[in-house]
Amino acid sequence: MIDLHTHTVFSDGELIPAELIRRSVAHKYEAIALTDHVDRSNFDFIIPRIVSVCRHMSESSDIIAMPGVELTHVPPRDIPVLAAEARKLGAAIILVHGETIVEPVSIGTNAAAIDADIDILAHPGMITEHDVRRAAERGIYLEITTRKGHCLTNGHVAKLALACGAGLVLNTDMHSPDDMINDTIANKIVAGCGLPEGYFDVMLENSRTLLNRRMLK
């Protein structure tokens, strides 16, 4: 399993970063990204600390641990600027909290995210075909999520992504140790949202491609 969307006590997760990474090792995860919720108020506090712990734990653990952020409820006009500033501080994996149907995310967030320097549009809800095609053109991955509530539109996202050639990744949006999954469950979740048999392997390769891209920079 590769999980590029997780949260620690630096936002609304239950675990300190070291324990989250350690539990991921115990679950035999190949790689993980720590992507706490940030906005203008806290990104400059959180990112350096996540960068530090990921560097140390990657050197001493059998896992790739990547520092990242999830830009959350950021006004659409501010997403490109904040993404660029987060990247400068060392956020290797940048997600944007997409237009999930279970939260009052600002309309236009998906479109603004796709036009910014980000990597993954998380739980994009009832994303439009136009935005999916733009994501495909720009090489931005769309998320299939295991998270309660956010997962309600997985089928819609999967259907449009297949039709438009957009890349998909599978993430847990982990907040608790109970959110961790294994490859068997991952395959069932992928099949459950209507993707072809074996498509989880494609999604894993997409995650590896993204990791390799960001580790080279």
pLDDT of 23: 95
Mean pLDDT along residues 55-77: 92
What six digits make up the tokens of 99? 């237009």
3-state secondary structure of 1: coil
Q: What is the CATH number of the domain that holds 104?
A: 3.20.20.140
Residue type, 162: L
| Residue 191 burial (CB count, 10 A) | 14
Percent of the chain clearing pLDDT 90 (strictly above) = 95
Domains: count for the chain? 1
Quote the Cα angle for 180-183-184, to 5°: 105
E-only strand ranges, the chain: 2-6, 31-38, 64-71, 93-97, 120-122, 141-145, 168-171
pLDDT tens digits for range 111-139: 999 999 999 999 999 999 999 999 999 99
What is the extent of the structural domain holding 37?
2-215
pLDDT tens digits for range 154-212: 999 999 999 999 999 999 999 999 999 999 999 999 999 999 999 999 999 999 999 99
Average pLDDT, the chain: 96
